[in-house]
Amino acid sequence: MSTLEIWADVYKQYWRINFLTALEYRANFLVWFGFTFIYHATALAALWIILREFPVMNGWTFGEMAFLYSLWMLAHALNNTLFLTVGDVPEHVREGEIDRLFIRPLNPLFQVLTTPQQIFPDELVLAILLFILATIWSNPIIDIWFVIFVPLVVIGGALIDFSINLMIATCAFWFVKVDALRWVAFQLEQEFTRYPISIYTKGVRLVLTFLLPYAFMNYFPATFFLDKTEDALHFPPQIGLLSPLVGLATFAVAYSFWRVGLNHYESVGH
């Protein structure tokens, strides 16, 4: 068996176990599905209430804000579906389970991403439904570029989300407990991606573009798809199409950092 075949086989088994556990704990699954649904429903309800009282936010209508939200939700849900287990790294470090990853002849990060959980792509399904609705509400130009680039942008966005989580998880090799850091990053992501970044001051826009490039998950692509003329940093609208590249670049940085973390951990010699 070639390496690639082994990877594919492990990955297939991993998803089989995920589905089987989700099926076994059906009641639990339903509760968590309700959780996911209510979470996004309250966020959208809040947007709707606000934009009913204040019809435009920097030129964005409710439909356009919903589109902005659904782009983020798609990327975030894809990240949660494929890469959620990276959040368990700090716990693996704490419990000493990480040593096991070094012994097995498989890439440690791949092993982290294939630790069985109870993952089900329910959030992704909700995200697709919302995206369809938001597309009807906001009326973007649907052409060949839209069809090609929406999936690419979503994959890029998921990579950005994943890479930032990976970097935070890697910090656990030094600090062990990074719960607070994770919580803060998560909060920043969900609150700062909810609105067009043009409402923020210059410094915040720069951070969201270059340092923690969350703006490439939804803001820049949405301005392109919706043909918005306002632009937060005077970039041409096509910049939104760079999301896949930004995703790959952030992943390259995050992965290098992860390798440094792994080496550091070995040198301590637990």
Q: CA triplet 30, 86, 103: central angle to 5 degrees?
A: 120
CA atoms within 13 A on the CB side of 86: 24
User: Smallest distance from the beta carbon of 242 to other proteins, in angstroms?
Assistant: 25
* 57 or 75: CB nearest other proteins: 57
Among 20, 31, 176, 245, binds other proteins (CB under 8 A): 31
Is the CB of residue 130 less than 8 Å from the CB of residue 66?
yes
Measured from the CB of residue 136, what is the shortest distance to other proteins in angstroms?
22
**Cβ-based nearer residue to other proteins, 200 or 257:** 200
The answer to whether residue 125 forms part of the interface with other proteins (CB under 8 A) is no
Q: Does the protein bind other proteins through residue 195 (CB under 8 A)?
A: yes
Question: Per-residue x/- mask for other proteins, residues 199 to 238, rule CB under 8 A?
Answer: xxx--x----------------------------------
Burial 70-101 (b: 16+ CB within 10 A, else e): bbbbbbbbbbbbbbbbbbbbbebbeeeebeeb
Does 32 engage in binding with other proteins (CB under 8 A)?
yes
As a whole number of angstroms, the distance between CA 196 and CA 190 comes to 13
Give residue 270's identity as a one-letter amino acid code: H
The rounded distance, in Å, linking the Cα atoms of 70 and 91 is 31
Cα 21 to chain centroid distance, Å, stands at: 24
Nearest-approach distance from CB 253 to other proteins, in angstroms = 23
- Compute the least distance from the CB of residue 130 to other proteins, in Å: 17
Footprint on this chain of other proteins (rule: CB under 8 A): 28, 31-32, 34-35, 38-39, 42, 45-46, 49-50, 52-59, 179-181, 183-184, 187-188, 191-192, 195, 199-201, 204
